Amino acid sequence: MRQGGDLFQWTEAFATTIDNFAWYGLLFAFELETYALEDDTFEKRWVPWALHGVRVICYLMLTHTVIARTAALDKAWEAPACPDISSLCQVADQDISWGFNFDYELITTANCANFTNDTSFYMLEEMVITDSAGWRMEKEQTTVDLMDALVWLLVIWSIELAIWLQNRDISGGRVMLATYAAKGFYLVLFGNAVWWIYTGHYVYAWDQTLWILGFWAIERNMSEWRGDLRERDRARGTGSLESVQT
């Protein structure tokens, strides 16, 4: 893109960087709201507004992640066939790379016969070619990428809902029960981590596990917060907040 490219092409190229900044921002904001800051701090109007503003910006950045991964999935499914190519040696020493399972290697006359025996090829990128198995893998990998981004958003929204309820001294009821049920999303995320291990991307699986543990820490903060609400309620003699219906 040094010769050009629109804004989305540039941001898509840095989608992972943008995504990481957004997640770090959310972790920081949630940690402040659910643990680090005292309740009386939120009596200053600018504090909740600042935290919510940071989260809105982070959500916009994560929306970009979903759009970028949707574009990557579409690109994978629409990868054009190369009917004029029946052997990788036909494109050797032309600055074209062999792509398979997110791994890329420049095709040369010395290695062109080593990658595949397939005679059907697809152009994943302008200068990246793969065979039928590589094309299938690309579609599977980009599907998991998009699913991962969407499920993480569902996890975050369930946390947002729980925080909204607990800020109103609600620690039970049907809506709060729905936030507990949403924890099943973590099973999907762990399943994706297993997929990355299966495909040989151990760092991706490790990364996924670390993020899950990070948000479990937020969940633990909220569990302690619910305990504080119940203790305060019992101290006031008003009965358990578990009976509050929303």
Task: Provide DSSP, 71-87.
Answer: HHHHHHHTPPB-TT-SS
What pLDDT does 41 receive?
76
Nearest to 53 by CA among 35, 27, 26, 23: 26
Token duo for residue 57: 């910006």
Q: Residues with Cβ < 8 Å from 137, sequence gap 6 or more?
A: 100, 101, 199
With 0.75 as the threshold, say if the pTM is over it.
Answer: yes
CA 194 vs CA 65, 188, 198, 209: distances in Å: 22, 10, 6, 10
- Check if the beta carbon of residue 207 is closer than 8 Å to that of residue 213: no
What is the pLDDT tens value at each position of the chain, 246 positions in all?
667 777 788 888 888 899 999 999 988 888 887 777 776 776 787 888 888 899 999 999 999 999 999 999 999 999 999 999 999 999 999 999 999 999 999 999 999 999 999 999 999 988 999 999 999 999 999 999 999 999 999 888 888 887 777 776 665 666 666 666 677 888 999 999 999 999 999 999 999 999 888 888 887 877 776 666 667 666 666 544 444 444
Phi, psi of 81 (to 5 degrees): -75, 160
- Check if the beta carbon of residue 143 is closer than 8 Å to that of residue 188: no
- CA–CA distance, 61 with 44 (Å, rounded to integer): 27
First to last CA, the chain: 52
* Residue 245, Ramachandran bin (φ over 0: left; ψ between -120 and 50: alpha; else beta): beta
Nearest to 123 by CA among 82, 84, 86, 94: 82
- CA–CA distance, 187 with 154 (Å, rounded to integer): 13
What pLDDT does 241 receive?
45
Enclosing H/E stretch for 128: strand 128-131
What pLDDT does 236 receive?
65
What pLDDT does 105 receive?
95
Helix, coil or strand: residue 124 = strand
Which DSSP letter does residue 91 get? G
What pLDDT does 27 receive?
86
Which DSSP letter does residue 122 get? E
What pLDDT does 160 receive?
82
- CA–CA distance, 195 with 18 (Å, rounded to integer): 24
